[in-house]
Chains A and B, each alone.
Chain A
Amino acid sequence: MRVVALFYRRLPSPLHATHAAVGALWAAALTVAALVLSHPLVLGALLAAVLCAGAGAGVGRQLARSLRLAGLVSLPIVLVNVLVSRQGLTVFARLGDLGPFGQGDLTVEALVYGAVIALKVTLLMLVTTLASLTVDPDELLRILRRLSFRSALTASLATRMLPVLAADAQRLAEAQRTRPEGAPRGARGRVALLRAMIGGSLDRAMDVAATLELRGFAGAHRAPRLSRPWSRHDIAFLLSAVAVLALAVIGRFASAASFDAYPELHAPVSAGTIVLSIALAAAVLLPFADRRGIDG
């Protein structure tokens, strides 16, 4: 089995070519849009755009994996909302008297509202995955190191060590599988295994700490400001972030993207809704159209 690669790798894509701060800002704009907007069609367009952006950044496969995970999370959200919500007027199933929970009437409004929440959760998960795969953590944390060197370096280290520790755990599990009697079983066996894993991690932590000492961690200075010229991709993604934020604000307050689940479903699809959806998707995806100056 291989460790799933859900961490940053430099790839030849417009998003990878931006400054980390710009990439993070762009991802933050997508997050705001996902939180602020509620119309299912607009959210659907945003979801499609994020998936296409993942493909454009060369991380489509990882994003698809994240989408599957989001699906697993979304299903209970929808189910719980349908079962728990007592709002909505359009009943599509009656479960009868549920004692202290009252009448078990399942409504279309609760179903749709649950789906919209699930869509938002899915979007947040995908945007987080996309950001972690495309925004250089070293560069991002470098900016934070100007504020707090040690905290940021510790965060860098955690980012770097996650895949290493995952590989360690996999190695340990393999070693235990090669015992003639198999891996230790029972509670005591599991505790022993856990202790071995923690022991191994501490050994590694000691070595890393020694390395950091020698690299001057104890007397660390603030990281210098690096002046890297802004590329066309930085400008494109910055404009994209501004556009996404603006469209999110418009969508929040304009009637074209209004959405109310209760008491009765209200999600009008007008030309304005369609235009907003297309504009949002275009704002997300347009920076990926220009691939000039990308290495690799």
Chain B
Amino acid sequence: MSAPLLCLDHVTYSYPGAETPALDDVSIAIEPGEFCLLASLSGHGKSTLLRAACGLVPHFHGGRFAGRVTLAGLDTREHGPARLGGVAGVLFQDPETQLVMSSVRGELALALESRGHGAAAVARGVEEVALALGIDSLLDRSTHDLSGGEKQRVALGAALAGRPRLVLLDEPTSQLDPVAGDELIGLLRRLNQEWETTIVLAEHRLERCLSSIDRVIALEHGRVGCDSDPQAFLAWAAERSPALQTPAAKLFALAGLSPAPAGVRQARATLRAHDLLPEEDPARVDRPQPGRSTENGRVRRSQQPPAALECNGVWHELRDGPAILRGVTLRVQPGESVALMGRNGAGKSTLLRHAAGLLDPTRGRISRAGRVALLLQNPGDYFVHERVADEAPAQALAAVGLAQMAERNPRDLSGGERQRLALAIVTGSGDEPALLALDEPTRGMDREAKAELALELRRRAGRGQAVIVATHDPEFAAACADRAILMADGRVIADGTAAELLAGGWYFATETARILAGADGVLLPEQGAELLRARQVDAGVRAGTEGPGEAVLDAPAIGRGVAR
């Protein structure tokens, strides 16, 4: 067996001034060519582990460090990040802070140049990494002009330019739309399989990558809770940390099926093998749903209650650039919760800014029933005070469950808490806003925090507040919205119930919907489990009539909780 490429030996680490360690007696060894996933709730040590692996901990961050980390035989206590960077390429969450140069070519060349490579080696390295990542067409572009997905690819390219043996990635897909996110995971898989690059990936949306990886290391309060293959990890998560369960695993668990699947393909294969897979109905996607017109405004206005937000042919055209919104017509009723989806650059954020009055349409008209509270992407942008209590009124803090944190510094809060504080700031304590608009509120949030936020949004919609959420996360969209709108190129290209829209696609669909091929508009594991239980009963009845040899209920793969 070869020597491990990365080895953490009883590593305990605390950030400066922290009372509890971020890593607590962590021992792991990662072999060359492995594709590992780091899973945990927010604040349980994923990022710290990655930073320890590349030497930023302790060299850059300081703090108290015990134990030993070796990377390709180099002890990180003796070698700094500059030296270790030759072995490990690192990609963090925000590509904006990882692009240092003005041009893509300059960016890819920087790491090679600063390590003293000759001109020919630099030119070759740049060319090769650009070709490998499919960014050769971007080489002469300005880094400022790139889209989020392109920036993330270029940052990955810069990390890979020196052909590192290990790549460490910290939630690289959190700012990407589902298409770009899947592309990035596919790219990592190719790097791993074709060039045997060792990959350690920290990610919240496990369903996105679980089927591609070899091993999962789950952290709990800075300790290794589970270190196993995906199958065993899912079993562990079901028992110890349900918030880490993927939707597919949750679906199977709720339906009483086992083993938990690592991805859609495995889930469908298991269901097909046991005749539980619903039949696909190709006509379903195009079938109009009762009660909603896909083109707003067709229903007679006199029959409609006053809208919380009404956009009529809204255009946003840049003076020296393209149109960002192209004739958007939209009506959101009080108490309605809407998920706004689409690729990066589709116009979602711009539409929300128009809704809140931050921008004025260059053509078209917007009317609002009252105040619009807009929560922008970075909750930290709202914080200007040193105490939580100074940021928002006590009543608003109590409404989001932060009353007991009034004396804390806003910047010390966890991701979910920061989001809730920002929500308290924009909603205030006075008159309730007629519309609450949220722009990508779940970036970097773990599943538990997302579930809490979805519940809060449901509560607000229940009180008659209209809610509109721009999100890349179909699972979150399904959990918080009744209606979904798909945007592309500044236009609304689909508008329907969440069940209608999120059940019928490849990218903009929940994992449950993809497993069940959108049957009955089922989106969430709980609904899917009900459907599967009903099919198990049907299958049981059929088996009873067809003969005992065909009985699904006797199949070994079907485990606990089967309806009998």
Contacts and interface: CB of A to CB of B under 8 A. Distances in A.
A203 B371 CA distance: 32
A97 interface: no
A178 B376 contact: yes
Nearest to A216: B114
B395 to A, nearest CB: 12
B144 interface: yes
A200 B92 CA distance: 17
Contact of B119 (A156, A220, A226): A226
B75 interface: no
Interface residues of B, number: 69
Interface string B88-130: 1110101011111111011000110111111100110000000
Interface in A221-253: 221-227
B546 interface: no
Nearest to A174: B358
B318 interface: yes
B56 interface: yes
A8 B104 CA distance: 13
Given A156-B102, A200-B380, A224 B82 contact: no
A226 B105 CA distance: 13
Given A210-B56, A216-B82, A223-B113, A175 B119 contact: no
Nearest to B359: A1
A223 B378 CA distance: 37
B459 interface: no
A80 interface: no
Contact of A215 (B59, B114, B143, B318): B114
Contacts of A293: none
Nearest to B353: A174
Contact of B96 (A138, A164, A218, A226): A164
B102 A220 contact: no
Central interface residue in A174, A215, A295, by most chain B CB within 10 Å: A215
A86 interface: no
A152 B375 CA distance: 39
A57 to B, nearest CB: 15
A177 B358 contact: yes
B33 interface: no
Given A156-B102, A218-B81, A225-B119, A181 B428 contact: yes
Contact of B378 (A175, A177, A213, A221): A175
18 contacts: A7-B142, A9-B144, A139-B106, A145-B113, A160-B101, A180-B428, A196-B384, A200-B380, A204-B97, A207-B98, A216-B85, A217-B82, A217-B114, A218-B80, A218-B81, A219-B83, A221-B113, A224-B122
Interface of A: 2, 7-10, 61, 136-139, 142, 145, 149, 153, 156-157, 159-160, 163-164, 171-172, 174-181, 184, 189, 192-193, 195-196, 199-200, 203-204, 207-227, 295
Interface of B: 54, 56, 59-60, 80-86, 88-90, 92, 94, 96-103, 105-106, 110-111, 113-119, 122-123, 140-145, 158-159, 318, 320-321, 353, 356, 358, 371, 373-376, 378, 380-385, 411, 425-428, 430
